Homo-oligomer: A and B are copies of this chain.
Amino acid sequence: MRVTTWAEYGLIVSLHLAKEGGETPTPARDLAEREGLPGDYVEQILLKLRRAGLVKSVRGAKGGYFLAHDPQTISVKDVMEAAENRTFEVYCDAHRVNLSRCGPNGDCSLRPVWRELQRRIDEMLSSVSLADLMRQESEVEALVAQ
């Protein structure tokens, strides 16, 4: 079980824009270079974030991207879902290995485990905002420890 670069980079990029603040657009290429990320790839990710309504873009010279909302109103989960389409995929939902077990009428004691896991992951990721991430690592550590 792992997080992809879509989510990881998506968060780095969003966080960068959050720190930038305001509505002055930052070009994708500048952002990528300053974060040490592949430029073309960052562009793809910003496109996804824009389609999800998390960032806004300005085209043409002097254009770029800026955050669409207040960092406090954007959660880690929001960014991950925008970048990765999902936070956690329940296997048996996607691949019905055995219909008599995985179907709606089946009885599979594993399903509740995955569902609950998904719930807790989402809960955790929803509870952290971009504003939270603008602090020092040590502060975030304290904040996040329940």
Contact = CB atoms under 8 A, between A and B. Distances in A.
A83 to B, nearest CB: 12
A90 B7 CA distance: 12
Given A109-B135, A113-B128, 15 more contacts: A1-B1, A1-B3, A3-B89, A8-B92, A8-B110, A11-B110, A36-B97, A37-B97, A107-B137, A109-B133, A109-B134, A109-B136, A112-B143, A116-B124, A116-B144
Given A36-B98, A91-B2, A124 B120 contact: yes
A51 interface: no
Q: How many copies does the complex hold?
A: 2
A134 to B, nearest CB: 7
A109 B15 contact: yes
Given A1-B2, A109-B15, A124 B117 contact: yes
B97 A113 contact: no
